[in-house]
Amino acid sequence: MKIWMIRLKCFAPALIWLCWICPTTAQQNKPAALPPMGWNSWNHFRDKVDDASVRAQAEAMVSSGMRDAGYTYINIDDTWEGERDAKGNIQTNSKFPDMKALADFVHNKGLKLGIYSSPGAKTCAKYEGSLGHEMQDAQTYAAWGIDYLKYDLCGLNAVMKAAPTPEAAHQIMIDAYIKMRDALRSTGRPIVYSLCQYGVDAVWEWGASVGGNLWRTTGDISDKYARMAEIGFGQAGLGRFAGPGHWNDPDMLEVGNGKLTLGENRVHFSMWAMLAAPLLAGNDLPNMSPDVKAILTNKDVIAIDQDKLGHEGTRVYSDGEVDVWTRHLVGGAMAIAVVNAGPDRVSTHPFHLDLAKLGLHGAQQSTDLWTGKDMQLTDNIPLEIPSHDILLVRLASPK
Ligand code: GLA
């Protein structure tokens, strides 16, 4: 007993030190343990984003209940950048008079601030990129209090095209992403690292190895149903590359944008949850309708997205225009999504859910996550799902 006490005394300082650094180190090495949730300026504001609109989003994120539902990041996309000063430090342009003050404002609301740059000389919108200034920019972001960086290949495309071989081009891209990863790490600040290069060279195979916490798997989304659906249903099979700390990113949400119907918004949000996708709202939060707010804050659907197992869902089978996806959840639970992707009403194409194809045997108790009602699924149950709408259920104990 005595010897143990003495040993404990000797190790106590080391233990205290370890306990002190462990959470910090773990946080630094593993931001985005769950798919990041927040808001990004691009889908709605494009180049019209400015300090005032970002503050308004942060305020609405709190007042709408989105922060309490799990949304954290307020991400400024392209067009915030100004010129570099004489020492090469990146400046904001006149739309953002004081980025540090904006970060303080956002942090005071219990939220985090994200920013955007490119490994090229210019960004997609032809603003200043980080090429040759990676370390300096990372230091600037950390000094401002930035918590998230979306790093968009765009400006490096021309450099890659001039490479003698595809392998050389690939290496240019890898090196560029590693350079910024190391620059971010050297700041000592946990900054989520979001790779944006539209899925080039199967980024899901190497994104995590260059430090990516998420990587875009596709070109840009739009607020049209066809484009959203093309991206969402095109993700099947990528799940094995994703997991806690490193996620496939099928692009930011268009929920509440364009002419998407409520059913289409439900399809979009449900599919992104099934895909363990980052949930970055892209609408104008202060002006969203109650219906859109209800979709973005549906806690049961968010819980599917944020399931701690981090196991991305996949398509199990299709029957005509109806797609059936499943996602395995923590504790043996399961989510099933049945989506009518076609333009016709399902009543003209009766659909029967084949539970055996999902590895299920006999009647299953489930909860419909959009109505909140209990639902018993029997084998070959006929389902009436309107065109461009979805049934999303959770099975607590699938059999
Ligand atoms: C690319 C990206 C978009 C957005 C714009 C900004 O198109 O894919 O998400 O960041 O650049 O210019």
CB neighbourhood size of 27 (10 A): 11
In the chain, where does DSSP find H-type helix? 2-29, 42-45, 51-63, 66-69, 99-108, 134-144, 157-161, 166-186, 225-233, 262-274, 290-296, 299-305
Quick one: pLDDT at residue 31? 87
**Ligand 1 centroid to 151 CA: how many Å?**
10
Residue-level pLDDT at 349? 63
Q: Which residues contact 321 (CB under 8 A, 6 or more apart)?
A: 340, 341, 342, 343, 344, 349
Of all protein residues, whose CA lies closest to atom 8 belonging to ligand 1?
Answer: 220
Q: Output the residue whose Cα is nearest ligand 1's atom 5.
A: 124
* Ligand 1 mutation target, pool 40, 47, 77, 123, most atoms within 8 A of CB: 77
Instruction: Supply the pTM of this predicted model.
Output: 0.93
Residues lower than pLDDT 50 in the chain: 1-29
**What pLDDT, on a 0 to 100 scale, did the predictor assign at position 343?**
80
pLDDT recorded at residue 305: 98
Q: Dump the DSSP string for 159-209.
A: HHHTSSSHHHHHHHHHHHHHHHHHHHHHTTS--EEEEESTTTT-GGGTTGG
What integer pLDDT is reported at residue 168 of this predicted model?
98
pLDDT (0 to 100) of residue 320? 87
**Residue whose CA lies nearest to ligand 1 atom number 11:** 124
**Domain limits, CATH 2.60.40.1180, in the chain:** 314-395
Residues with CB under 6 A from ligand 1: 42, 77-78, 123-125, 152, 154, 196, 220
Q: pLDDT by residue (tens digit) across 300-338?
A: 999 999 999 999 999 999 998 899 999 999 999 999 999
| Distance separating alpha carbons of residues 152 and 133, to the nearest angstrom | 15
Helix (H, G, I), strand (E, B) or coil at 264: helix
Residue of 215, 195, 244 lying closest to 30 (CA atoms)? 244
CATH 3.20.20.70 domain span(s) along the chain: 29-305
With the most atoms of ligand 1 within 8 angstroms of its CB, the residue from 196, 216, 227, 251 to mutate is: 196
| CATH no. of 314-395 | 2.60.40.1180
pLDDT in tens, 56-92: 999 999 999 999 999 999 999 999 999 999 999 999 9
Active-site residues: which are they? Answer: 152, 220
At the top level of CATH, the class of 29-305 is alpha beta
Distance separating alpha carbons of residues 171 and 317, to the nearest angstrom: 37
pLDDT at 344: 67
Report the pLDDT value the prediction gives residue 212, as an integer from 0 to 100.
98
